[in-house]
Amino acid sequence: MAWIRRHLLFVIFVVSPTACSLVYFGLIATDAYISESRFVVSSGQGSLQAGGIASLLMGVGGSHSSADSYEVRDYILSRDALKELTGKLPVDRIYGRSGISFIDRYPGLIYDKSFEELYKYYTRHVEVELDSASSISILTVRAYAADDARQINSDLLDLSERLVNALNDRSRRDLIQFADNEVNIASEKAKNAALALFAYRSKQTMFEPNKQAALQLEIVGKIHEQLISTEAEIANIKKLSPDNPQIAGLEDSADLLRKTIAAETGKVTSSTGSFSARAPEFERLALDVEFADKQLAIALAGLESARSEAQKQQIYLERLTQPSVQDKSTEPHRIRSIVTTFIISMLAWGVASILIASVREHAD
């Protein structure tokens, strides 16, 4: 006791921590097993089935997505992942077995069996590291039985793959739904434009004013040829026989042809009711139909492109290594931990001794 009083500082900073470390790591700490798996989240036109690690390193089949890798990492370390994991495995019972030391097992010394306490315990035993250079993620699970660690690791990978598939489905659905809505809008416009043109044609009893006007002018041209022939015949008869009784009949025919020409020409060129007067409205409606049809064609092409793009933009979780199963525990590092505790304690004791000596010197 006299020695302890003389070396109280050494006892507090060195002996006590080292003794506690010896007791815990030498007698109490439970052997732990580590299960490690590696995966990469990639995006591209297809899954990397054949190339394996070589294809990944060569960048064949898709590009690595760091953003998606961070999403998967955040999910694995989230409460949602733990909830889904507890639906597949009895996580609380796995980490609460009687063979685990009272310090290491769940729910711990406080004996708080709430979900929040389980989540805190979970985040201390599950870790995801992401190599930003290669975009390879390393999932590490710590448990007190090798099979438990491997099973938790495997189930977390399964849940992550399900998350990636859900992201794919949502992205594909949103992309195609937007393009499909555009097709529906364009189709409705095309239908309305076609109906408007059909109604105009039915009301005006004509199909295409320009073509019908051209046909009408062709008819006028033929009538005009008949008029010219009739007038020539009249002139010829008057020259040979001015009193010929055929002249009156031919002149009546010529007058009738002139009236017919005027009437038929009026159907094309008059200000009201003619093909020319009705052509602007028809052309506007026909232009609406043409524009709507082009919009519909563009929308349909966009829909096909969206479907193709939805396949190209898929993301995949590729397992580079399956969850490992250790045949020997690797934690805790008993000797190293005890030595580390002793070294840190010695450093703390040295710093405390110097500070106390400095205070005493100033006090003197």
CB 337 within 8 A of CB 25: yes
Q: What pLDDT, on the 0 to 100 scale, is given for residue 176?
A: 82
Handedness of CA 242, 245, 246, 247 (dihedral sign): positive
Cis peptide before 107 (omega within 30 of 0): yes
Domains of the chain listed by start with CATH number: 29-175+312-340 (3.30.1890), 178-311 (1.10.287)
Please tell me the distance from the alpha carbon of residue 329 to that of residue 97, in angstroms, as a whole number. 17
**DSSP letter, residue 259:** H
* Residue 328 confidence (pLDDT): 86
pTM score, two decimals? Answer: 0.61
The number of CA neighbours under 13 Å toward the Cβ of 143 is 24
Mean residue pLDDT of the chain comes to 80
Low-confidence residues of the chain: pLDDT under 70: 1-4, 6, 44-65, 201-202, 204-218, 220, 262-282, 310-313, 364
pLDDT at 82: 95
The pLDDT assigned to 215 comes to 61
Q: d(Cα 341, Cα 67) in Å, to the nearest integer?
A: 39
Burial 223-237 (b: 16+ CB within 10 A, else e): bbeebeebbeebeeb
The model's pLDDT over 142-198, given as tens digits with 9 standing for 90+, comes to 999 999 999 999 999 999 999 988 888 887 787 788 888 888 888 888 888 888 877
